[in-house]
Structure 1
Amino acid sequence: MPFIDQLRHWARTQPHRAAVVVGTQRLSFAGLLDAAAAWPAPQPSAGAALAVIDEPDGTALAARFVGAVARDGVAAVLDPSWPQELKAAVTDRAVAWAATEAAPPASEPGFRDGPPGSTFLLGLSSGTSGVPKAFTRSRASWQASFAASAAYFGVTAADVTLAPGPMAASMNLYALGEALFTGSTFVALPQFSADAALHAVTHDAATRLVLVPTVLALLARRGLDTGQGAGAVTSIVCAGSALPAGVEELARQWAPRARIFQYYGASELGFVAASGNDGDDGTPCAGRAFPGTEVSVRGTGGLPAGPGECGSICVRGPYVGNGYAWGDDGLAFNVLPGGGASGGGASDGPWYTVHDQGFLDGSGRLHVVGRASDMIVTGGANVYPQQVEGDLEAVAGPGTVVVAGVPDAVRGQRVVAGLFPGGGPPGVAPLTAGQLLAACRRRAAALPAPQRPTRYYALTDLPLTGAGKLSRTLLQAWIGGGDARAQRIH
């Protein structure tokens, strides 16, 4: 694992500093090293040595994760909220996959970083139904990522990083590894709530937050409403989906001393683009190519698109994963021929894409339009729900609108909007469902006809994955199944 040698270094030089804190549980760097070494080494049957980790969020999860991959093993961390049937199905798939994988080359026994090219992580998507897809990661890809992200985000041994989402989520496992790599402290929650996160901010003296936009909005709004400040937080790293301007403004009100970074990436691709450390002019976008990454937008036939022309976002660089262990439908992770980047590149290696759609502007900044899988095709027109949400939330407030496509016999799909009355600016009574409906319909009248929602639903909850990301698939399921959490109001 790319942080094991670093962990051993920190265990020698700062043995008593807190390495992992989860609620009242705490392990120092020396204690984490001892706890990880106490876990039995993963035992290969015929192929890769696999450790399926099913632990609640806590220091034991961190210790087992570290212990598994420190002995040339492959870790698969299950979401503790999954039902037992799903956990069993994922475990069976993982065991079958591991049996087909070659064991890494023999190396010196002991508790240390393994061969750079070998797989250490069997990552699992945060889907809402069915067996999640599984991607694989090499040790080298994370080792390169740690060095780059620590430099870009300014992470030092003095930092305390709070990642309030589930530890099993790939961005939070990465934050754990990044903290161990840099000798800083990683903080997680045994169970999420906005108040628990705000308590950890002050109680554990967090200096950094790593979280998705929906969770940032919850923390900032709750903090402003209750007078719970951001304490020592000077850095906020937001990822998982685009950071809406309204949520960024909330965060700046709540944490005025914090520098706000956002990055765009994918579990399969690693870091792609980022903003917050490049002197940008504030124009909403994903940012510039992350250091070490080349970005190209490819249009019809895989040819480079010009500035402002939309196409598939493609990347190459040291952070890209190895692909899927299972669940690849042939579209989710593709390799395209090499050639120079649209912005000018000297390398000629292959390009990788998960078919997110976007464009590069004249300054080389990446604008992400949306995932190809989220695109709504209605009456022959392509509609990206993120764009419609942004337009409607300009009048409805941040965190109030979720847009999706549902089957329609005439159009193919129709655009629908879920309205969540619990959102909106802090210190102001949330708009009722009726008020949200009126505001959104007025705004929608100014949109191109294909982008206008034809049905609206009042939501009692936001449709979120276990990692806190908005799930249009879940909203579609609520609507299709007549779930009480989505009641039609127009």
Structure 2
Amino acid sequence: MARRIGDRLDTLAQEDPTRPALICGEEMVTRAAFSAHVARWRGRIASRVAPGEDVALGMGNSPDLVAAFFACATGGRAALVYDPSWPATYRASIDGALGSPLALAEGDAADAVPEPVAEVSPDQPFYVGFTSGSTGVPKGYRRSHRSWIDSFAVSEEVFGLSGGDVILAPGGLSASLHLYGVVHALHIGATAVMLRQFLPLRALELIARHEVTALYATPTQLQMLTKVAAAEGLTCPTVRRILISGAKWRPETRAAVAAVFPHAGIAEFYGASEMSFITLVRPGETPPPGSVGRAAPGVVIAIRDGAGRDLPAGETGAIWVASMMLFDAYACGGGAETRREGEFLTIGDHGRLDAAGYLTLAGRERRMLVTAGMNVYPEEVEAVLALAPGIEEAVVLGLPDPLRGVELVAVLRGPGATGEAVLRAHARRHLPAAKLPRRFLALEDWPRTSGGKVDLPALQRRVEALLAPASMLQRS
């Protein structure tokens, strides 16, 4: 049984050297070629940095990025997967916190003598990923070989993935979801498919050409794929499994996905970069409305109050998780919301468990707003607004208010975003008065992170500028 990331690459290459290991757009790399490429990258890295050190990978999506990542893992170094689109201030802050590690960039080549695989402890860190930065400068988190090997075991048990699959992860590998999909595929001997840049029609072409059987996607990417496929009259009958991170589905969205991917079972999961899988909704399972599923195999969930006491079913508190898939520590950044107590870890998410063990999220501790003395989780209000007619995306922000302390502002995207009266009536049917947004703002062009998530700080600044005193047109 594999104990370290990438420790079967050479064996897989010997078993079937000509089988495609990695496809990136028009490029195809066989198992034998990929194994040799990783060995040359190991040699390049070993000549420049000692075992146990960090290596910053500042490349865009490419076979070189993937090979250099595996070279770090199999050579006893930790790969820091940087996002090439970070602003200079982000990069400078992270480099400073990490002591300016060896950096490999676009155009660097694996031109060294091949280096053999190193003997590495399963508990040694092999990867430093970075949060998306949706609420600030990214935090770097360290993961051990063992934590991802245990995560792979969950993927294989619950999602039914194996070496016979062709697995597409269409997004940037600086996002852990897509990196995980590509690395897991190569680790188990499946064919990994990726793109240099996410383009829906290009992704659909690759699915058809290479008969992709499994797809990792964010909710936004899946919606874009479905919309383009429907417009082009395309279907993807080879896909048997879609793996999606905690999406909230409209009935019409599910129907559209089913039309494009007629044979695909959808597995939804809620997790975190620091924790891997927390809960799962298995294909065919129908959880209670709003739930993100039940604990993944090997995961124990506790809901606790501010004093650390376990709360009964139905009560909302901090989500604490114990499992073998937890991260080691932050390499840089971090905050008071992330805490450990014994085997349990919390990163500040709040939610509640029902009597059957289904978890419903309330929101993140650091996004919680206090308005008129009441704690409001923006995520709860966003989930309600997202179900209104014609709303494709909703974000709730807080602006300073002399009377309430914070005024709730809903930012909306979609054809229904300008229907303020309809939106207010919809919100009133589902929310108490204290949680109703005071203002509604239609905005189509949203700032986003490189992973496609909403850039919340940038959106906050844009909304503050739009709703400056001279333009406050939508106050209740």
Task: Give, in whole Å, the separation in 1 of the partners of 2:426 and 2:457.
Answer: 25
Taking the aligned partners of 2:205 and 2:257, their CA distance within structure 1 comes to 17
- Name the amino acid aligned to 1:78: Y
Structure 2 residue identity aligned to 1:169: A
Q: Quick one: distance in 2 between partners of 1:261 and 1:17? A: 28
**Partner-residue secondary structure (3-state), 2:388:** helix
SS at match of 1:70: helix
Deviation at 1:237, TM superposition (A): 0.6
Give the structure 2 partner of residue 103 of structure 1.
none
Q: Which moved more, 1:192-201 or 1:359-368?
A: 192-201
Aligned residues of 1:457 and 1:489 also touching (Cα < 8 A) = no
Counterpart CA distance in 2 for 1:407 and 1:182 is: 51
Matched, 1:259 2:261: no
TM-score scaled by structure 1?
A: 0.86
Question: Which AA in structure 2 matches 1:382?
Answer: N
Shift, 1:226, TM fit: 2.9
The structural deviation recorded for 1:75 is: 0.4
Aligned-pair identity (%): 32
Pair 97,383 (structure 1): closer, same or farther in 2 beyond 3 Å: farther
Map 1:284-295 to 2 at 5 A: 284-295=290-301
Unaligned runs of 5+ in 1: 99-108, 338-349, 422-430
The 10-residue stretch of structure 1 (174-183 or 310-319) with the greater mean CA deviation from structure 2: 174-183
Q: CA deviation at 1:307?
A: 0.7
Match of 1:219, SS state, is helix
* CA gap 1:400/1:225 in 2 versus in 1, 3 angstroms: farther
Secondary structure of the corresponding residue to residue 229 of structure 2:
helix
Q: How many angstroms apart in 1 are the aligned matches of 2:134 and 2:295?
A: 30
Q: Tell me, in whole angstroms, the C-alpha distance in 1 between the residues paired with 2:62 and 2:461.
A: 32
Following superposition, the deviation at residue 150 of structure 1 comes to 1.4
Residues 227-274 of structure 1 show CA distances to partners (whole Å, capped at 9, x for unaligned) of 2222311111111x5433454444234323211111111111111111
Which of residues 366, 371, 374 in structure 1 aligns to 2:364?
Answer: 371
Partner in structure 2 of residue 427 of structure 1? none
Matched, 1:181 2:190: no
* Deviation sequence 1:199-228 (CA, Å, 0-9, x none): 222223211111111221222222223322
Superposition deviation, residue 34 in structure 1: 0.9
Letter in 1 for 2:91: K
Query: Compared with structure 1, are the counterparts of its residues 32 and 47 closer, same or farther at alpha carbon in structure 2 (3 Å cutoff)?
Result: closer
Shift in Å, 1:378: 1.2
Change (3 A) 1:417 1:30: same
Tell me, which stretches of 5 or more residues in structure 2 are unaligned? 103-114
Partner Cα distance (2:160, 2:152) in 1: 11
Single out whichever of 264-273 and 2-11 deviates more from structure 2. Answer: 2-11
Name the SS for the 2:8 alignment partner: helix
**Aligned amino acid, residue 122 of structure 2:** P
Change (3 A) 1:203 1:44: same
SS of corresponding position for 1:352? strand
Closer/same/farther in 2, CA of residues 208 and 398 from structure 1, 3 Å limit: farther
Counterpart mapping for 1:208-219 below 5 A: 208-219=214-225
CA, structure 1 residues 203+406, in 2 after alignment: closer, same or farther (shift >3 Å)? Answer: farther
Post-superposition CA distance 1:268-311 (Å, at most 9, x none): 11111111158445644111111011111112311111111111
Is contact 1:194–1:219 with CA below 8 Å preserved after alignment?
Answer: yes
The residue that corresponds to 1:334 in the other structure is: 339
Q: Aligned partners of 1:212 and 1:281: how far apart in 2?
A: 20
Give 1:25's aligned residue. Answer: 27
Structure 2 residue identity aligned to 1:123: G
Q: 2:281 touches 2:287 (CA, 8 Å); kept in 1?
A: no
* C-alpha contact (below 8 Å) 1:5/1:113 kept by paired residues: no
State the superposition RMSD in angstroms. Answer: 2.5
Structure-to-structure mapping, 1:408-423, within 5 angstroms: 408-421=401-414
Normalising by the residue count of structure 2, what TM-score does the alignment of the two structures yield?
A: 0.88
The verdict on how the C-alpha distance between 1:409 and 1:205 changes in structure 2, with shifts beyond 3 A counting, is farther
The match for 2:74 is 70
Change (3 A) 1:221 1:56: same
Change in 2 beyond 3 A, CA 1:208/1:113: farther
Quick check: 82-91 or 68-77, which moved more? Answer: 82-91
Q: What is the alpha-carbon distance in structure 1 between the residues aligned to residue 46 and residue 131 of structure 2? A: 23
Distance change (3 Å), C-alpha of 1:111 and 1:293: same
1:406 aligned residue: 399
Retained in 1: the 8 A contact 2:168–2:182? Answer: no
- The aligned amino acid for 2:34 is L
* 1:276 and 2:277 matched: no
TM-aligned CA distance change 1:227 to 1:117, over 3 Å: same
User: Equivalences for 1:187-266 in 2 at 5 Å?
Assistant: 187-239=193-245, 241-246=246-251, 247-266=253-272
| Alpha-carbon distance, 1:443 to partner | 0.7
Matched residue, 1:171: 177
Matches within 5 A, 1:116-127: 116-127=122-133
> How many angstroms does 1:197 deviate by?
2.2
Query: Aligned residue for 1:2?
Result: 4
Task: Tell whether the 8 Å contact from 1:70 to 1:111 is kept in structure 2 after alignment.
Answer: yes
Q: Is the Cα contact below 8 Å between 1:212 and 1:469 reproduced in 2?
A: no
Report the alpha carbon displacement of residue 448 of structure 1 after superposing the two structures with TM: 1.0
Q: Distance in 2 between matches of 1:451 and 1:130?
A: 25
Amino acid in the other structure paired with 2:341: L
Cα separation, 1, equivalents of 2:362 and 2:135:
25
Are the structure 2 counterparts of residues 295 and 432 from structure 1 closer, same or farther at C-alpha, using a change threshold of 3 Å?
Answer: closer
Per-residue CA shift, 1:372-420, capped at 9, x if unaligned?
1222221111222222222222222452322222332332222111121
SS at match of 1:91: helix
Q: CA deviation at 1:439?
A: 2.6
Give the distance between the partners of 2:267 and 2:422, measured in 1 at CA. Answer: 31
User: What per-residue deviation string (whole Å, max 9, x for no partner) do you get for residues 408-451 of structure 1?
Assistant: 23322221111212xxxxxxxxx26434x343122123231122
Q: Does the CA-based 8 Å contact 1:50-1:75 persist in structure 2?
A: yes
| 1:88 CA displacement | 4.0
Given that residues 54 and 78 in structure 1 are in contact (C-alpha distance below 8 angstroms), is that contact kept between their aligned partners in structure 2? Answer: yes
In 2, are the aligned partners of 1:456 and 1:489 still within 8 Å (CA)?
Answer: no
Distance 1:281 1:50 in 2: 42
| Separation of aligned partners in 2, 1:18 and 1:377 | 54
Determine if the alignment matches structure 1 residue 393 to structure 2 residue 398. Answer: no
CA distance change for structure 1 residues 12 and 372 in 2, over 3 Å: closer, same or farther?
same
* 3-state DSSP of counterpart to 1:389: helix
